[in-house]
Structure formats: structure tokens, C-alpha cells
Amino acid sequence: MSKSLTLPWLHEYFIDVAETHGGDLLSVPVHSAAKKVQIIKARLVCFSRQSFKLICDPTRDGEDNWIWAHVSDREYIVPVRFSKEAMKVYRQHPVYGSLSISSFKTAIISMKDFRPMFARVPNPGMGMSSSGHLVLEVCTFNVLGSTGASMLGSPKGIETGSDIYLWVQGLREGNGGGNVLKLRKQAENSADGSSSSQPAHTQAMEVLTYGRRQRSSSPDGTPEPKPPCPAQRPRKSKVNPVKAHQRRWRIRTEPPPESWDGVKNVEHVHEPSSPCNPAAPEKKRDPPGTPPKRT
């Protein structure tokens, strides 16, 4: 039976509660999965709801009493409070129902339907504790055996852990102090998210794209898209628009060379005639470029 406590779970459970819910323990859902622990204190303490007094005689665990005990997961110890419903189900057990819980010294029990709470715990013969402590309120449990066996491991108080101690101090201070581990977890997650957004160092690979090899640094080997070309500004023109306009409308002082060819081939020029000016006899003109004749 001692092999059933090979995996401690109390510390991990409370750390998960602290990082998820912080100081809002009322929002913690009931843990429905069964967990195994060992009762390490035979002297249970009952708190009567009728007389509102501590009863150190565990044989008087009536239906109107809350039964307190300390249990261990082989590594840590935590106080538990068995609810009225848990005691009612226990008394209906065909084998253990007629026995007091105090008779199961160092027994292994299986408990489920529990949730954490932060409350004062009873001190036998000294009333209630002055400050709050972490407690598990158990609604269902079952005795498995190993009654009278030695204590397993060397368990210590659950609040001795550094993170749990920091959380408990915040719960006692109030004003949001119980969120210390929750805020720390959120800060770690945000830091991890910012680092993961940066491109990770991946192994470069070559892939065949459009008949040629292209180097890719993506994990799946897909080619990376080419970056867009930067916008280019229009270059300034070195041509003076005024001079270009003048060249298009350049004034010629002489006809073009091809016009001279037509003029050279003309031998006679006829002057136009009119009714008042009869046609004059044709004059023979010298071709252009002929020096004038001396008279």
C-alpha cells in the first residue's frame, strides 16, 4: 500500500491554484479526481457547530461536527476538514462506518471532491489559530487500509515551501496580495510570448523553385517571398524645356538643301498675265549662283 504514495501532488496542486486563481479561492472548482494521502495524526479534532467549542475527544464525531485532521502525500503535510456530507457517507460504509476515524492511525485514504480554503485551524487545547492557513475541505473520502503503519517519508508543512510561503503571506495581508504568484506567472508568459514572436533560428534549406534552387530558412522548406521593391522617385530631367521648345521651332534663314535641287532644275519662269498687263515675252533667267553680266 505504501507504493500508492510514490507521486507527491500537494505542492503542485497548490502552486497551480495560486498561479491560476490567485487570492480568489472561491473560484477554484472542486477537484473531482481521487487523490491518495496518509493520515499522520491520530488525534483528530472535532468542532461542534452546536456548542461552538473544540472537542478534543475524537470519539464524539457526531453528525453536527466538522472533523479536522492532518494528511500527507509523503512530502508535504496539509490540514484537512471533512465536511458533514463526507462524514455522513463515511458512516454508511458497511465495514468502516461503525468505527471512529481516530481508530485509523496512519491509514491510507482516498479523497475527492475537495477544494482549498484559507481559514484558521483548531489548535488542540488552545482554541483556533490566530492567523489563516491553507486547508483542504474534503467532501468525499474512503479508507483504503495500512492502519497502524509507520509514517511514509519525511513530510513537512505545506507552507514551508518558498513559493507557498510567499503566497500565504500575501493571503494574510489581503488587498490583492494573494495574486503574487498569479501576476508573476502572467509576467513570465508575456515575456515568453514576446520572445517567441521573434524569428527563431532555423536551419537553412534549399528547395527547387521554378527550375532553379532557392535557399530557404523556413522550417518546412518553403521558399520565402521576395521583399517588395522600394518605390523609386522620378529622376530630374537635365533637358531645359525652354531650349527644347526653341529647337522644335528653329527659324531657318535659308531653304533646306533638298529645296535647292528643285529650284536648280527650273530653266524658265513664266510671269503671270492679266487683262491690264498682257503677257510679256519670256525672259531667260540664269541659274542661281551665276555671276552677273557686265554691261
* Residue 132 counted as domain residue: yes
For residue 221, CA distances in Å to 38, 216, 225, 227 come to 55, 6, 12, 18
Most confident of 8-12, 51-55, 144-148: 8-12
* Residue 117 counted as domain residue: yes
Q: In total, how many domains does the chain have?
A: 1
* Residue 45 counted as domain residue: yes
> Average pLDDT for residues 158-168, to the nearest whole number?
95
> Average pLDDT for residues 167-184, to the nearest whole number?
94
* Residue 241 counted as domain residue: no
* Residue 280 counted as domain residue: no
Q: Which residue segment(s) compose the domain that 115 sits in?
A: 2-17+28-160
> Is the confidence at residue 76, as pLDDT, over 70?
yes
* Residue 223 counted as domain residue: no
213-248 tens-digit pLDDT: 555 555 555 656 666 767 677 666 677 777 777 776
pTM of this structure? 0.61
> Average pLDDT for residues 34-55, to the nearest whole number?
68
* Residue 69 counted as domain residue: yes
Contacts 24+ apart (CB under 8 A), 60-66: 61/87, 61/100, 61/101, 61/102, 63/87, 63/88, 63/91
More confident residue, 241 or 12: 12
> Average pLDDT for residues 2-9, to the nearest whole number?
76
Structural contact between residues 125 and 172, judged by C-beta atoms closer than 8 angstroms: no
CATH number at residue 102: 2.40.50.960
